[in-house]
Amino acid sequence: MADLTIRTERTDTDAVVSVGGDLDYDSHGRLEEAVDAALDGGRPPSGLVVDLAEVTYCDSCGLRVLLGAQARAHDVGATFVLRGAHGQPARALKLTGLDQVFG
């Protein structure tokens, strides 16, 4: 089991949330908090990018957080980009059809 790591950066226009480790029942709340923090504040970003390049495992709780992040971004008028998924997280996205949702 790999601990979840989260790093958030802000560019001129976007908030980039980079995630690593296991995104699962035990850790998903931390990503929800990071997404909320990235989108809250005086001026929301034009886009929210969630980078899964270092995520090694993602369960249904993690997938739900990603769907919520997309909805939350759209609620504040931001675009949503999911990038970097590979291995088991990419397979989970494909098996559930969410790869098409996040397209």
pLDDT per residue, tens digit, the chain (103 aa), is 789 999 999 999 999 999 999 999 999 999 999 999 999 977 899 999 999 999 999 999 999 999 999 999 999 999 999 999 999 999 999 999 999 999 8
Q: Please give the pLDDT value at position 52.
A: 98
The verdict on residue 18 lying in a domain is: yes
Residue 10 structural domain? 5-85
The verdict on residue 94 lying in a domain is: no
Q: Please give the pLDDT value at position 17.
A: 98
CA atoms within a 13 Å half-sphere pointing along the CA-CB vector of 54 = 11
* 91 close to 63: Cβ distance less than 8 angstroms: no
The verdict on residue 99 lying in a domain is: no
Q: Please give the pLDDT value at position 55.
A: 98
* 88 close to 52: Cβ distance less than 8 angstroms: no
The verdict on residue 103 lying in a domain is: no
The verdict on residue 69 lying in a domain is: yes
Give the predicted TM-score (pTM) of the model: 0.95
Q: Please give the pLDDT value at position 51.
A: 98
Per the structure, the count of domains in the chain is 1
Q: Please give the pLDDT value at position 46.
A: 97
What is the CATH classification number for the domain harbouring 44? 3.30.750.24
The verdict on residue 100 lying in a domain is: no
The verdict on residue 101 lying in a domain is: no
Token pair 């494909």: residue: 94
Cβ-count burial of 27 within 10 angstroms (0-12 exposed, 13-18 middle, 19+ buried)? buried
3-state secondary structure 1-62: CCCCEEEEEECCCEEEEEEEEEECCCCHHHHHHHHHHHHCCCCCCCEEEEEEEEEEEECHHH
The verdict on residue 92 lying in a domain is: no
Q: Please give the pLDDT value at position 42.
A: 76
Task: List the one residue out of 19, 69, 21 whose CA is nearest residue 48.
Answer: 69
